[in-house]
Amino acid sequence: MSGMRTVLNSTAAVASLAVGYVLWAVLSPGEKRIHRLKNLPESNPERMEESRQRNAMVMQVLKEAATTNSNIARGFDRPGK
């Protein structure tokens, strides 16, 4: 019985080490991920400013669409109700 318990404990320890290694290998940043992180818009001030301006324009269009009574989704040929 003691020998079986030792084998089970050893197997559990090896399995937990294997799971830890696999998780470490999967979650650690590789070269491709580091390269992608360097090319994000947030890392370049010029691209970040372009993103801010684009987001501001989208928000302005959404605000204008929310305040208007016409529904563009219905189409231009049919009048609103």
> DSSP string spanning 32-74?
HHHHHHHTSGGGSHHHHHHHHHHHHHHHHHHHHHHH-S--GGG
With a cut of 50, list the residues of the chain below it in pLDDT.
none
Same domain flag for 33 and 56: no
Write down the pLDDT at residue 78. Answer: 56
Same domain flag for 34 and 55: no
Same domain flag for 30 and 59: no
Same domain flag for 31 and 48: no
Write down the pLDDT at residue 31. Answer: 78
Count: domains in the chain: 2
Q: Which domain holds residue 58?
A: 40-69
Please state, as a whole number, how many other Cβ atoms lie within 10 Å of the Cβ of residue 59: 10
